[in-house]
Amino acid sequence: MTAAKVIALEYHDVVAHGAFDESGFTGRAAASYKLSVDNFAAHLSVLTAPGIPVRSAAHPVTDLAVGGVMLTFDDGGASAFTHIAPLLEERGLSGAFFVTTDHIDTRGFLTRAQITELHRRGHVIGSHSCSHPTRMAECSASELQHEWGDSVARLSDVIGGAVTTASVPGGYYSRDVGEAAAAAGVTLLFTSEPSTRVTRCGDGRCIVLGRYTLRQADSEQRVAALVGASPLTRRAEWLKWNSKKVAKALGGRAYLRLREAVFREP
């Protein structure tokens, strides 16, 4: 791993074995992104092995001379507080938690008090939009202003400080999505594109960084391959992602309907 390369990992919820609906969004599609406590602990064993430089989530990514692995967690499910943060802290790690603000203080999601406590304990709190749009890149300018601006403002009020980090829900990034985030004060925006390439938006004010998504079935060996010195696994992820992106663009709403059918309860 080169010193200036940041490899960001994208997690969602971590739950007790089989208890997929205890945290975050419910349903089979959401569950496919949720790890068991034991599986996540195995991932952390790999990430804390000698030679794997996991950087503090609070370390400014704008310092591009400092590389390493960043741990990020989407949706704002309650497991951020009940499972994830304790497992990280036991190992001297911190995470970046991206909160869907319309769900604060609702069943399965973080409360205001929990968000405040995570921030106090050194974790980064960021926006994951207000409502988690299915296709954020299709939102109008006013909708994007609401999704980023209002979510950032609410979280800033909760933690009593500036919120400058965010992640795009659903992986549907566009230039307009990035520009709206930058206008809301976001200086670091994560997408779901599996890449270590750094780009900028908002007249250079906002860094845009991709992530490698971990899912329910992913083993600790896969994590080791993603963060290892060889780029082959990361390149394969990039190729797969871009093939899927073409399918999404061509399929439009039909692609989403097909995905819903695949994950529909039997």
The pLDDT assigned to 19 comes to 96
Distance CA 112, CA 86 (A): 18
Return d(Cα 241, Cα 262) in angstroms, integer: 18
- pLDDT on residue 152: 98
Q: Does 232 or 258 have the greater pLDDT score? A: 232
pLDDT exceeds cutoff 80 at 66 = no
Strand partners, 198: 209
Of 170, 169, 117, 174, residue with least CA distance to 141: 174
What is the rounded distance in angstroms from the CA atom of residue 67 to the CA atom of residue 53?
8
Quickly state the pLDDT bin for 58 (edges 50, 70, 90): confident
Cβ–Cβ < 8 Å for 189, 168:
yes
What would the pLDDT profile of 150-185 be if each residue is shown by its tens digit?
999 999 999 999 999 999 998 789 999 999 999 999
Name the packing angle between helices 232-251 and 253-263 (round to 10°).
110
**Average pLDDT of 11-37?**
97
Average pLDDT over residues 28-55: 95
Asked if pLDDT for residue 29 goes beyond 60, the answer is yes
Placement of tokens 């208890």 in the chain: 19
Confidence at 243, pLDDT banded by 50, 70, 90: confident
**How far apart are the two ends of the chain, measured CA to CA in Å?**
44
Rg (CA), the chain: 17
- Tokens for 240, please give them: 């797969």
144 vs 130: CA distance, rounded Å? 10
What's the mean per-residue pLDDT of the chain? 91
Residue 261 has pLDDT above 70, yes or no: no
Give which of 87, 91, 85 is closest to 119, Cα–Cα: 85
Q: Which of 61-75, 163-177, 202-216 comes out lowest in average pLDDT?
A: 61-75
pLDDT tens for each residue of 100-150: 999 999 999 999 999 999 999 999 999 999 999 999 999 999 999 999 999
Give me the mean pLDDT over the 56-78 stretch.
83
**23-37 mean pLDDT:** 97
For residue 1, is pLDDT > 50?
no
pLDDT over threshold 90, residue 259: no
pLDDT of residue 2: 39
Give the pLDDT score at 264.
Answer: 54
Predicted confidence band of residue 245 (pLDDT cuts 50, 70, 90): confident
pLDDT band at 221; cut points 50, 70, 90: very high
Does 224 score more than 90 pLDDT?
yes
Q: Residue 244 — very low, low, confident or very high, per pLDDT cuts 50/70/90?
A: confident
Q: Which of 30-34, 58-62, 174-178, 214-218 has the lowest mean pLDDT?
A: 58-62
pLDDT score, position 3: 42
Query: Are β-strands 188-190 and 206-209 bridged in parallel, bridged antiparallel, or unpaired?
Result: parallel
